[in-house]
Amino acid sequence: MNRRHFLKTTAVAGAGWLLLPSGARAGKNAPGNKLNVALIGVWGRGLAHYDSLKDENVVALCDVNEERFPEALKKFPNAKTYVDWRKCLEQKDLDAVVCCTTDHTHAFIANWSLNRDLHCYCEKPLAITVEEARTVRATWMKKKGKLATQVGMQRHSNPNFNRTRELIRGGAVGNLEAAYAWGNRQVRPSGCEYSHPNEYDDKPGIVFFKDKPGVPAGYLPEAGEPPKNLKYDLWLGPSQFQPYNPGYFEKGPGANCLSWNMFWEFGAGQIGDMGSHTMDLLWNCVDAALPTSAEAKGDPFNPAITPIKCASHFEHPANDWRGPIRIGWYQGRVMPKSPVSWLDLTKIDHGAMFKGSKGVLVCDFQKRLLIPVGDAADMTYYKPPTTETVLPPLGHFQKQWIEACKNPGLKTACDFEYSGNMVEQLLLGLVAYRAGKKLQYDPVAGKVTNCPEANQYLGKKYRDGWTLNG
Ligand SMILES: NC(=O)c1ccc[n+]([C@@H]2O[C@H](COP(=O)([O-])OP(=O)(O)OC[C@H]3O[C@@H](n4cnc5c(N)ncnc54)[C@H](O)[C@@H]3O)[C@@H](O)[C@H]2O)c1
């Protein structure tokens, strides 16, 4: 019986432990019942996983910044260390990978892990291009049932996710017609000033940021040599070369992603950042897969920086419980219109709104507000959940994945199908933004059908030597 098979059978048939010779311990802390995990990206967001991994065997630590190892090794002293995740994934005793690196490496690490039959928890966003999202999802669909995946959208375990879903599925807004999510973050590159600080302004065509003299609104200029401990070339990884600038590393643990994720080469801006969390709030309630159209409007195009203000809209076909719907994503203080004059949606930093034939539901990650509309909305049509049908709490989000690694077939809330579809839709919005017109999309082929030139924006060019699906 090989190690992985042993792990699976002991986890599924927990009672089997009772038959083991005396002295063997039962339960998840039994010596053979721990996952051998590689943590890739050990600082910043990586720190948020230390606690949930403390009962597993972290056998490999990988970071492009060697300065991060001493602290991580204090927590996981038996781990081998690596600076190149490709070498790390060659370690023979791995069961699972937790990926907390930059967004431009997520789809690579996720794909490579699944191709090596390793479970994978990947921080959000799963991908930064439509092609990356489709590639990871396709790899996952071949491994589903055997491996466990989860994208780091941990807000999904907030009870409000279940409560909003119950309201929408129970018909509290009548027949669902449209749903919108928004996020108000405006993060600009190091050195760029806010042209409209704290100001809500959705006029089209406005230039939203102004440069300090000598700081172009593009990639950051060369600024000295990378520190010795940082393997800058590995940090760039598959992305096109950009000279080193400390501005890409300035925000500190847990917020450093806000130093680099607005650049096309390194991220997808707010789509990959709060967009992943906030669209999840909506996505969880609508049971959508992929859209058939996309259109978007935002800041004037900048070849280095993804739009800060942008609104995108998608058409989704009907499913077995609702008709076709329109989904919207608004970012950078562009907002959907409030359904009533007395509700200022701009006061909700990150939220979602569901519009139906009989009412509107507005929510953020914690709270929800139902507004029945018109005389017909007497709520008799609404079926509240009963104690039998109320959705159970999800529990600890990271641990849900660990349990699923040990019990193949257990479903995780944000697996690579659910999250892959969600991020593909959002990233298609960026394609429509660049194409500048409404796109018709063939979700099976993954191609734009009415604007051939838009297809070039579905993927991106990688540096020589880097393979997405290796
Ligand atoms: N789920 C959440 O709520 C949440 C919160 C913050 C960040 N994040 C995500 O976590 C990821 C990391 O964000 P961060 O702010 O910690 O960024 P960061 O720049 O601090 O990177 C995290 C760590 O990964 C290392 N790293 C970077 N590229 C690497 C590579 N190719 N190989 C190995 N190590 C590498 C860095 O040196 C650093 O130690 C981002 O994708 C971000 O979207 C998620």
Closest CA to 62 of 76, 46, 79, 82: 82
> What is the atom index within ligand 1 of the atom nearest the CA of 252?
20
Domain formed by 3-155, architecture? 3-Layer(aba) Sandwich (3.40)
From the CB of 124, is ligand 1 less than 6 Å away?
yes
Peptide bond connecting 204 to the previous residue in cis, omega within 30 degrees of 0: no
Q: Which atom of ligand 1 is nearest the CA belonging to 248?
A: 19
Q: What percentage of the chain exceeds 90 in pLDDT?
A: 80
Domain spans of the chain? 3-155, 156-185+271-394+418-458
Kindly provide the b/e burial profile for residues 296-313, where b requires at least 16 CB atoms within 10 angstroms of the residue's own CB: bbbbeebeebbbbbbbbb
* Reported confidence tier of residue 96, pLDDT bands at 50, 70, 90: very high
Residue 99 CA to ligand 1 center (angstroms) comes to 8
Listed in sequence order, the residues at least 6 apart from 296 whose beta carbon sits closer than 8 Å to its beta carbon are 310, 311, 312, 313, 429, 430, 432, 433
pLDDT in tens, 289-309: 999 999 999 888 888 999 988
Under 8 Å CB-to-CB from 234, ≥6 apart: which residues?
64, 83, 84
Q: Tell me the CA–centroid distance for residue 98 and ligand 1, in Å.
A: 11
Q: How far is the CA of 41 from the centre of ligand 1 (A)?
A: 6
Atom of ligand 1 nearest to the CA of 259: 19
List residues bridging with 305 in a β-sheet.
Answer: 263
Which atom belonging to ligand 1 lies closest to the Cα atom of 261?
43
The per-residue pLDDT for range 146-202, each reduced to its tens digit, is 999 999 999 999 999 999 999 999 999 999 999 999 999 988 887 776 544 434 344
Q: How many alpha carbons fall within 13 Å on the CB side of residue 176?
A: 32
| pLDDT value of residue 315 | 98
pLDDT score of 194: 53
The yes-or-no verdict on residue 2 having pLDDT over 70 is no
Q: Among 303-307, 318-322, 437-441, whose mean pLDDT is lowest?
A: 303-307
**pLDDT for res 142:** 98
**Across 6-10, 329-333, 386-390, least confident range:** 6-10
pTM of the predicted protein model: 0.92
Instruction: Give residue 380's identity as a one-letter amino acid code.
Output: T
pLDDT tens digits along 335-380:
999 999 999 999 999 999 999 999 999 999 999 999 999 887 899 9
Query: Is residue 313 lining ligand 1, measured as CB closer than 6 Å?
Result: no
pLDDT at 237 over 90: yes
Q: Which pLDDT band, with edges at 50, 70 and 90, does 210 fall under?
A: low
Name the class of domain 156-185+271-394+418-458: alpha beta
pLDDT tens for 3-26 read 454 454 444 333 323 233 333 334
Could you tell me if 233 and 244 are in contact, meaning their C-beta atoms sit under 8 angstroms apart? no
- Asked if residue 361 lies in contact with residue 369, where contact means CB atoms within 8 angstroms, the answer is yes
* Weakest-pLDDT range from 191-195, 408-412, 461-465: 191-195
First to last CA, the chain: 28
Q: Residue 118: pLDDT band by 50, 70, 90 thresholds?
A: very high
Q: Is the CB of residue 354 below 6 angstroms from any atom belonging to ligand 1?
A: no
Going by C-alpha positions, the residue among 138, 88, 93, 91 that lies closest to residue 2 is 93
